[in-house]
């Protein structure tokens, strides 16, 4: 059923382009949402409701994935690849009834569900050039996305990461910075390593699950996958570390405020507050 829905959705959402920028977009959905149970047994994270504002200032409620899609539209990312699992039928149903998008949407099925890195690798069949990769439970202010894209275009690295200083870096993926710079009012870093939830963090700079990348990351992820056992999960951080070890140029842009997340109950509560008070 999901396969037939994906074909219909792809046809329904092919429309006028949002811009001429060469970058594409990738959204990874279909995770298990274990940190947001029990609600994610019946409602996937991308459909969790938040507040927004009409043009006349009145509040209304919309699902989280709309905030991601609207940012991608504003950035001119096109096409956008949505990597989904067979647990994502509600997301597909919603997108099919949502109304037209100002971008082309391509769907790629993740039948293996072997982690964020493997889901990103599956997008390789659809992606043709540099892209913005976004988890289904994180967003940034639009100006931060723009700064990351502009840094990628200006400096030409293999990847740009978005980072923010946190009190407990053992809960996050963290970078090991090698140098510090500045780009349009943002602090930037060269990255000599990345590690997921380290017991001894190399810094307090935690990564958002949002990246600007060149297709070179796919080769690194493929090499990581070749070393894994059957069914073993592949994390994107492993691919980034492999890319760095092979001489890839990875940079980080420090955010002025933490990304918005619906990945944990405390994060979702804060997202509700922010969206109700001022919008996202």
Helix 89-98 with 64-75: angle, nearest 10 deg: 60
Q: Beta-strand (E) ranges in the chain?
A: 24-28, 49-53, 59-63, 80-84, 105-109, 131-135, 138-139, 159-165, 173-183, 186-196, 205-213, 250-254, 260-261
pTM for this one? 0.89
What is residue 231's predicted lDDT score, i.e. its pLDDT? 81
% of the chain exceeding 70 in pLDDT = 92
Q: How confident is the model at residue 112 (pLDDT cuts 50, 70, 90)?
A: confident
The second-level CATH assignment, the architecture, of 158-208+215-258 is Alpha-Beta Complex (3.90)
Tens digit of pLDDT for each residue in 162-208? Answer: 999 999 999 999 999 999 999 999 999 999 999 999 999 999 999 99
Tens digit of pLDDT for each residue in 241-267? Answer: 999 999 999 999 999 988 999 989 999
Q: Which fold has domain 1-53+61-139?
A: Spore Coat Polysaccharide Biosynthesis Protein SpsA; Chain A (3.90.550)
Region 125-144 average pLDDT: 95
Residue ranges of domains in the chain: 1-53+61-139, 158-208+215-258
Tens digit of pLDDT for each residue in 219-236? Answer: 999 999 999 888 888 999
């Amino acid at each position: 059923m999901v396969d037939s829905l994906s074909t219909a959705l792809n046809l329904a959402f092919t429309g006028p382009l949002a811009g001429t920028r060469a970058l594409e977009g990738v959204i990874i959905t279909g995770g298990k949402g274990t940190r947001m149970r029990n609600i994610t047994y019946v409602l996937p994270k991308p459909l969790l409701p938040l507040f927004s504002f009409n043009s006349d200032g009145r509040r209304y409620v919309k699902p989280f994935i709309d905030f991601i899609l609207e940012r991608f539209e504003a950035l001119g990312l096109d096409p956008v690849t949505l990597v989904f699992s067979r647990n994502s039928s509600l997301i597909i149903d919603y997108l099919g009834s949502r109304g037209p998008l100002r971008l082309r949407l391509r769907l790629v099925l993740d039948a293996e569900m072997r982690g964020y890195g493997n889901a990103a690798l599956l997008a390789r069949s659809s992606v043709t050039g540099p892209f913005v990769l976004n988890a289904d439970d994180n967003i940034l202010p639009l100006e931060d996305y723009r700064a990351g894209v502009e840094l990628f275009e200006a400096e030409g690295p293999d990847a740009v990461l978005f980072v923010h200083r946190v009190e407990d870096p053992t809960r996050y993926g963290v970078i090991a910075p090698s140098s510090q710079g500045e780009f349009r009012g943002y602090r930037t870093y060269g990255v000599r390593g990345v590690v997921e939830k380290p017991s001894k963090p190399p810094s307090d700079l935690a990564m958002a699950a949002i990246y600007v990348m060149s297709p070179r990351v796919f080769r690194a992820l493929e090499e990581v996958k070749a070393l894994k056992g059957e069914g073993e999960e592949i994390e994107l951080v492993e691919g980034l570390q492999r890319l760095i070890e092979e001489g890839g140029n990875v940079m980080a842009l420090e955010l002025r405020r933490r990304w918005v997340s619906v990945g944990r109950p405390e994060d979702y509560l804060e997202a509700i507050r922010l969206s109700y008070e001022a919008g996202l």
